[in-house]
Amino acid sequence: MEKPSIPKGTRDFGPTSMSKREFIFQHIRGVFRKYGFQPLETPAMENLSTLTGKYGDEGDRLLFRILNSGDFLEGVDIQKLLARDPGTSSKLTEKGLRYDLTVPFARYVVMNRHDITFPFKRYQIQPVWRADRPQKGRYREFYQCDADVVGTDSLLCEAEIILMINEVFEKLGIKDYTIRMNHRGILSGLADQSGAMNENALFVAMDKLDKMGAEKVKDELLTAGISKQGIAVLFDRLNFSGSNADKINWMRTEFASSQKGTIGATALAEVLNLVSHFGLEENHVHLDLSLARGLSYYTGAIFEVRINHVSIGSVCGGGRYDNLTGIFGMPDVSGIGISFGVDRIYDAMEELTLFPAEANVSTNVLVVTMDEKCFQYGIMVLSSLRSRQIAGEIYPDTSKLKKQLDYANKKMIPFVVIIGSEELETGLLTLKNLATGGQEKITLEKLLQYDF
């Protein structure tokens, strides 16, 4: 018999990793809710017409497509199929797996526009699938955790995104991180000043600064048709350093004659102002003119978060967009979104050993019994513990003590209650703390009041 396996790029999450992942999800979900975001779930399968053309050619290529059920050759032009005509697969297959949470969200908003109360704040925590080549840290199935507000252009949303990021990281115990923030208006101002004809080519190149370094990016900019002088101007601007307040002042002067640049500087100043109104002392925000992010649909503020001293890349990103629902025929809806990368946060927390021990505890107490009579009594003890909402188990048979203790140890159950003939006689149960190894004799009454 063939050994069972799972598709490459996918993972099982067993109890240990699930508990840690749930620790992350739970805190992100809690913060989203606390800020008034409501849950949404969309189907794993979307019509291909919803998905294709939304993520560029590369994205189309990376979509997982579902073979039509029944006679999947029905309506397929066989000659085209054999010629590998790319259009053919759209007859074989009419559905694809969710590629991100943003496009389904836009699709949902457009389909439900008459029932939705705007501004609409939704969060969505679901897996997405990409037929990418699997490698370390890159999977074919992974979760996204998104929160978006649509239907308002209030900069309060930008400020609250910064607050939410701070609160999530605080709850996760991550202290050393940087929220880089920039604005599309500033990027456009930079593009003007450097004489770039093709804004997007400029942003795509700038986005690689971290990975490739300045020299290679300069080469790429030259190739993209930006003059040496323009590149010099650009890097002069990018090199400005100082506090956020310094940068705001400098931007206001630098982009005084650029309408887009001025909008950007004013917006960034107002966002920081609102954040301080909320009373956040250390906001972790670092204005960064070089932050571009690849996605061309951003129109306002953009964000990216990195955990410092961990070589894991961005763990959270987002920004404002003004026309996300336009692709489905509903123009002029301004929105802003943020997405947390759970897999990377998980890896970073492992590297920094930030998961608390409690993240691993599922059962609090195991009742261990030495014979049939003790087992009967143990059932009553367990039942009493559970009625106090304590997560408990009884070992299902009267195996040797060592075997039962092994079970508790391996399952990281912190306490065992041992019931043998002596305990049955005296009415004093043995409570053992497996972490410390210490044990005490305790009455049932005291046990039920014990702070597990």
Q: Hey, which residues between 19 and 38 contact its own copies (CB under 8 A)?
A: 19, 22, 33-38
**Residue closer to its own copies (CB basis): 82 or 357:** 82
The secondary structure of 327-353 as a DSSP string is GGT-----EEEEEE-HHHHHHHHHHTT
**Residue closer to its own copies (CB basis): 11 or 446:** 11
Report in angstroms the alpha-carbon separations of 358 from 20, 261, 313. Answer: 9, 48, 28
Residue 233 C-beta: closest distance to its own copies, Å: 37
Pairing of strands 177-183, 285-287: parallel
**Contact pick of 80, 171, 373, 411 for its own copies (by CB under 8 A):** 411
Pairing of strands 392-394, 365-369: parallel
Segment lying near its own copies (by CB under 8 A), choices 102-110, 217-225, 264-272, 416-424: 102-110
**Residue closer to its own copies (CB basis): 251 or 365:** 365
Binding mask 277-296 for its own copies (x = CB under 8 A): xxx-----------------
**Residue closer to its own copies (CB basis): 172 or 206:** 172
How many angstroms separate the most distant Cα atoms in the chain?
92
Helix H or strand E segment including 229: helix 228-238
Segment lying near its own copies (by CB under 8 A), choices 13-21, 240-248, 349-357, 444-452: 13-21
Dihedral (CA of 149, 150, 156, 159) sign: positive
**Residue closer to its own copies (CB basis): 188 or 299:** 299
Q: With CB under 8 A, what is the number of residues at the site for its own copies? A: 100
Residue 225 C-beta: closest distance to its own copies, Å: 33
Of 128, 172, 169, nearest to 146 (Cα)? 128
Residue 231 C-beta: closest distance to its own copies, Å: 38
Is-contact 366 418, C-beta < 8 A?
no
Pairing of strands 392-394, 428-433: unpaired
Of 67, 146, 149, 154, nearest to 99 (Cα)? 146
Residue 1 C-beta: closest distance to its own copies, Å: 4
Residue 55 C-beta: closest distance to its own copies, Å: 15
- Does residue 13 touch its own copies according to CB under 8 A? yes
218-277 residues near its own copies, rule: CB under 8 A: 274, 277
**Contact pick of 59, 127, 195, 313 for its own copies (by CB under 8 A):** 127
Token pair belonging to 227 = 């003059």
CA geometry: angle at 130 spanning 129 and 134, to 5°?
115
**Contact pick of 391, 426, 440, 443 for its own copies (by CB under 8 A):** 391
Token pair belonging to 343 = 């897999």
152-191 residues near its own copies, rule: CB under 8 A: 152, 154, 156-157
43-62 residues near its own copies, rule: CB under 8 A: 43-47, 49-50, 61-62
Binding mask 62-101 for its own copies (x = CB under 8 A): x-xxxx-x-xxx----x--xx-x----x--xxxx-x----
**Residue closer to its own copies (CB basis): 64 or 298:** 64
Count of residues making up the chain: 452
Residue 64 C-beta: closest distance to its own copies, Å: 5
**Contact pick of 396, 400, 402, 436 for its own copies (by CB under 8 A):** 396
b/e 343-375 (16+ beta carbons within 10 angstroms → b): bbbbbbbeeeebbeeebeeeebbbbbbbeeebb
CA dihedral 199, 202, 205, 206 (to 10 degrees): -100
Residue 195 C-beta: closest distance to its own copies, Å: 36
**Residue closer to its own copies (CB basis): 121 or 247:** 121
**Residue 8, φ and ψ in degrees, nearest 5:** -60, 145
Residue 226 C-beta: closest distance to its own copies, Å: 35
Residue 57 C-beta: closest distance to its own copies, Å: 14
**Residue closer to its own copies (CB basis): 60 or 192:** 60
Amino acid 415 reads: F
Dihedral (CA of 65, 71, 75, 79) sign: positive
Residue 416 CB coordination number (10 Å): 24
324-383 residues near its own copies, rule: CB under 8 A: 328-329, 362-363, 366, 376, 379-380, 382-383
Classify residue 178 as exposed, middle or buried by CB count within 10 Å of its CB (0-12, 13-18, 19+): middle
**Residue closer to its own copies (CB basis): 43 or 225:** 43
